[in-house]
Chains A and B, each alone.
Chain A
Amino acid sequence: MYLFQEILLKYNFSDWFIFIAGLVFYFILITIFIIITVLILVLFERKYLAMFTRRIGPNRTGIRGCLQTIADSFKLLFKENIKPANAEQFLYFISPLIVFIPVILLWLIIPFTSESANYQSQISSFLFLAVLSIPVFGVLTAGCSSMSKYSILGGIRSCIQIISSEIPVSLVLVSVVIFTGTLDLNNIINFQSGIFLNWNIFPNILGFVIFFICSLIMMNRTPFDFPESESELVAGYHCEYSGMKFAMLFLAEYALTFVICTYMTALFMGGYNSPVGFYLADLFNLNNGFDYILKNIEQLFWISIKTFLLIMLIMWIRASYPRFRFDKTLELCWYILIPLAVFNLCVEIFIKYLRGIL
Chain B
Amino acid sequence: MEKILTDRMRINIGPQHPSTHGVMRMIVDLDGETVENVETVIGYLHRGMEKMAETSTYIQYLPIVDRIDYLSGFFCSYAYVNGIELLMDIEISEKSKYIRTITMELNRMASHLLWLGCFMMDLGASSPFFYTFIEREKILDIFENLTGNRMMYNYYTFGGVKRDIDKENLYAIKKFSDEFVFALKDLEELINYNPIFISRTKNLGILEKECAYAYSITGVNLRASGIKKDLRKDKPYLIYENIEFNVPISENKDVQARYILRIKELKESNKIVQQCIDWLLTNLNNKNIITDVKPLTLKPEGIAISEVESSRGLMQCIIYADGTLNPYRIKWRTPSFYNVQIINEISKGYLLSDLIAIFGSLDIIMPEVDR
Contacts and interface: CB of A to CB of B under 8 A. Distances in A.
Contacts of A149: 9, 11
Contacts of B122: 232
A222 B355 CA distance: 20
Contacts of B356: 232-233
Contacts of A327: 33, 351
B111 to A, nearest CB: 21
A49 B126 CA distance: 10
B130 A54 contact: yes
Contact of A322 (B9, B120, B354, B355): B120
Interface in B119-139: 120, 122-127, 129-131, 134
B190 interface: yes
A233 B353 contact: yes
Contact of A53 (B126, B194, B199): B126
A53 B196 contact: no
A350 B356 CA distance: 47
A223 B353 CA distance: 14
A229 interface: yes
Interface string B331-363: 000000000000000000001111110000000
- Tell me the interface secondary structure of chain B in the complex: helix
Interface residues of B, number: 29
Given A322-B196, A322-B197, A53 B131 contact: yes
B182 to A, nearest CB: 15
A327 B199 CA distance: 11
A319 B127 contact: yes
A323 B127 contact: no
Nearest to B125: A322
Given A149-B9, A231-B18, A232-B18, A321 B354 contact: no
A302 B83 CA distance: 73
A223 B11 contact: no
Nearest to A319: B127
Interface residues of A, number: 27
Nearest to A318: B126
Given A223-B196, A233-B13, A320-B190, A325 B127 contact: no
Contacts of A150: 11
B124 A53 contact: no
A225 interface: yes
Interface string B23-60: 00000000001000000000000000000000000000
B162 interface: no
9 A-B pairs closest in CB distance = A323-B124, A53-B130, A322-B125, A322-B123, A322-B124, A319-B127, A232-B18, A53-B127, A322-B196
Interface of B: 9, 11, 13, 18-19, 33, 120, 122-127, 129-131, 134, 190, 194, 196-197, 199-200, 351-356
Interface of A: 49, 52-55, 149-150, 222-223, 225-226, 229, 231-234, 318-328
Given A231-B18, A232-B356, A326-B33, 10 more contacts: A53-B131, A149-B9, A225-B124, A234-B13, A320-B190, A322-B123, A322-B124, A322-B196, A323-B125, A324-B196
